């Protein structure tokens, strides 16, 4: 399990729900009256309206939840402390790749809720992510080795739909791929602090990659290779929503 006690500090500053992505997640939840948000962190994308319970293992993350946010329980996906069918939908946002036993956690989701909604990054799209050219070591992180993608979710959930979620060029949420058209942002240590992959890398590797990116931006090399991205309003960087169950 990724150590959010160590890397979670300052998370709430950079990770703030983007309203367009929130709308896609809300549509996937389909007005479920009782929702469990697993791996809830600071509470991004928790729908307003349904009766919601958050579950999160890290006290550092729990401490950053808004005082008005939904009640949160400390726990892990692999052992949900709730009776079967306590909820109508279970929501997971950018968390499954951090779990120690991903298949076990997905079994637990199906036990407590007939519908499962999972927002994730599709690993088959990693080659599209230019950030990997600058920080290739990200691929070797425990959370990124064999990360769960659509094929994994189809094996472990009764998947009904997989929705492509294009990321807007002005995405307000600072997750790993959010700045696909704003490369300068990755030079900012504050921006990087909201991205778990950077928080897990040795500082010397982060600095070396940032230096390569800085040089490529200064020389025009980045724009020669990827500059067309700056002209797009949205882009499929690899984010998806799986809708499974009822």
Ligand X SMILES: C[S@@+](CC[C@H](N)C(=O)[O-])C[C@H]1O[C@@H](n2cnc3c(N)ncnc32)[C@H](O)[C@@H]1O
Q: Which is nearer to ligand X, 74 or 230 (CB)?
A: 74
Q: How far is the CB of 44 from ligand X (least distance, A)?
A: 4
User: Quick one: 94 or 113, whose CB is closer to ligand X?
Assistant: 94
**Listed residue (13, 39, 54, 37) closest to 97, CA to CA:** 39
Token reading at 7: 């890397």
Token pair in block for residue 128:
């599209």
CA 102 to chain centre: 15
Phi and psi at 125, nearest 5°, equal -95, 5
Residue entry with tokens 């080659």: 127
Q: How far is the CB of 58 from ligand X (least distance, A)?
A: 4
CB closer to ligand X out of 201 and 216? 201
Residue nearest to ligand X (CB): 41
Residue with Cβ nearer ligand X (26 or 216): 26
Q: Least distance (Å) from ligand X to the CB of residue 75?
A: 7
For residue 101, the minimal CB distance to ligand X (Å) is 8
User: In whole angstroms, how close is the CB of 177 to ligand X at the nearest point?
Assistant: 12
CA-based end-to-end distance of the chain = 29
Q: Shortest Cβ distance from residue 132 to ligand X (Å)?
A: 18
CA distances to 65, 131, 141, 182, 188 from 127, rounded to whole Å, are 34, 10, 16, 18, 23
For 124, other C-beta atoms within 10 Å of its C-beta total: 11
Q: Give residues in contact with ligand X (CB under 6 A).
A: 1-2, 4, 15, 38-42, 44, 56-58, 61, 76-78, 93-95, 98-100, 196
The pair of three-digit structure tokens given for residue 64, joined into one six-digit string: 């950053």
The nearest distance, CB 130 to ligand X, in angstroms, is 21
Pick between residue 7 and residue 206 the one whose CB is nearest to ligand X: 7
Residue placing its CB nearer to ligand X in the complex, 15 or 115: 15
Residue environment code for 176-204, b if the CB has 16+ CB neighbours within 10 A, otherwise e = bbbbbbebeebeeeebbbbbbbbbbbeee
176 token code pair: 């790993």
The residue with tokens 């490529």 is: 216
Cβ proximity to ligand X, 144 vs 216, nearer residue: 144
CA distance 94 to 117: 11
């Amino acid at each position: 399990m990724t150590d959010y006690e160590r890397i979670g500090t300052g998370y709430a500053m950079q990770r703030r729900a983007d309203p367009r992505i929130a709308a896609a997640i809300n549509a996937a939840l389909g007005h479920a009256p009782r929702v469990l948000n697993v791996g809830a962190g600071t509470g991004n994308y928790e729908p307003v309206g349904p009766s919601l319970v958050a579950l999160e293992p890290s006290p550092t993350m729990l401490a950053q939840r808004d005082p008005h946010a939904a009640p949160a329980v400390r726990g892990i996906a692999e052992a949900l402390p709730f009776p079967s069918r306590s909820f109508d939908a279970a929501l997971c946002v950018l968390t499954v790749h951090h779990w120690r036993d991903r298949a076990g956690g997905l079994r637990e989701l199906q036990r407590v809720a007939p519908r499962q909604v999972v927002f994730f990054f599709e690993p088959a799209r990693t080659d599209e992510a230019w950030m990997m050219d600058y920080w290739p070591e990200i691929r070797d992180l425990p959370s990124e080795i064999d990360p769960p993608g659509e094929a994994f979710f189809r094996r472990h959930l009764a998947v009904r739909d997989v929705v492509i979620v294009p990321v807007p060029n002005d995405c307000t949420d600072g997750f790993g791929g959010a700045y696909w058209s704003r490369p300068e942002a990755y030079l900012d240590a504050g921006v990087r602090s909201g991205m778990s992959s950077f928080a897990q890398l040795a500082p010397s590797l982060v600095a070396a990659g940032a230096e390569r990116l800085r040089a490529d931006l200064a020389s025009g090399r980045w724009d020669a290779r990827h500059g067309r991205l700056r002209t797009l309003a949205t882009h499929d960087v690899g984010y998806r929503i799986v809708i499974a169950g009822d």
